[in-house]
Structures are given as C-alpha cells and as structure tokens.
Amino acid sequence: MKKALSIGTMVGLMLIAVAPSAFAAETGNQLVMASGLWVFVAIALGCGIGIGIAAHGTGIGMGNAINGALQGTARNPEAGGKIMTTMIIGLALIESLCIYALVICFILVFKIPDLTKLFEAILKALGA
C-alpha cells in the first residue's frame, strides 16, 4: 500500500513538473507561455480531485450509517422499521453532500473556455 501511494505521488509530481512544457510554444528565441492557462488547469485538476474526495467521504459515511443501522436492528428487531426510516433519511442527506460537490464541479468546469484554438497553435508551433 505504501509503495503504491509513493509511486502514485511520484507520478503526480512528475506530471506537474512536465506540465509547463506542454503548455508552452517556442516561437523564434522566445518561450511563450499560454497566459491564464494555469487557472483552467487548476480548475480541471481541482474538480477531479474534489469529486473524488467527496465520493470517498460519502462512501465512508454511508458505510458507517448502514453498519450502525444493521447493528441496531440486530440488537432490537422490533425497532427495525424506525431504524430503517431514519437510516434512509440519513443516507439521502449524506448523498446530497456528494451531489453538491458534483454541482460545484460542473459549474467550475463550464467556466473553462474552448481551448482548441490554443492547443492547435501550440501543436503547430511544436511541429506536430
């Protein structure tokens, strides 16, 4: 587990270190950086990481809620109906947190403009 985590961290850091060369185009003797592109890269990365963390957290919360409901029903079977109703309401509230994170990510992702012209110019300058 530690090995996979360290390898994943190293790969992520290498991708971040190599990213500036992907967004740069050499024209003559100058290295022209795509201004403002880092904001959109940060939005895209933040949305992906944010929704992953939200889904992970809600999954853990739902697991704990179901665990508690099953243990309560096992101890007192007559209260199973009330426990089930309360659990379903709690699960809906937990799931709403993940949906809020998804909506925020959609709002941020749709702020990213169409960058196809920029990428075409970069590829053209690189000779690809």
Amino acid at 46: G
In a domain, 106, yes or no: yes
In a domain, 21, yes or no: no
25 touches 122 (CB < 8 A): yes
In a domain, 79, yes or no: yes
**CA 12 to CA 1: how far, in whole Å?**
16
Chain mean position to CA 39 = 16
Give the mean pLDDT of 23-33: 48
The predicted-structure confidence for 90-104, as pLDDT tens digits, reads as follows 999 999 999 999 999
Percent of the chain with pLDDT over 70: 75
**CA 91 to CA 40: how far, in whole Å?**
34
Tokens encoding 19 = 């990213």
The angle subtended at Cα 101 by Cα 98 and Cα 102, nearest 5°, is: 90
Confidence at 88, pLDDT banded by 50, 70, 90: very high
**CA 15 to CA 48: how far, in whole Å?**
15
Residue 50 has pLDDT above 50, yes or no: yes
Pairwise pLDDT comparison (65 vs 124), residue with the higher score: 65
Pairwise pLDDT comparison (3 vs 57), residue with the higher score: 57
In a domain, 123, yes or no: no
The angle subtended at Cα 73 by Cα 69 and Cα 74, nearest 5°, is: 115
Domain of 82 in residue numbering reads as: 46-113
pLDDT of residue 29: 39
Does the predicted TM-score (pTM) go above 0.85? no
Residue 11 has pLDDT above 90, yes or no: no
Domain of 78: which CATH number?
1.20.20.10
Amino acid at 43: I
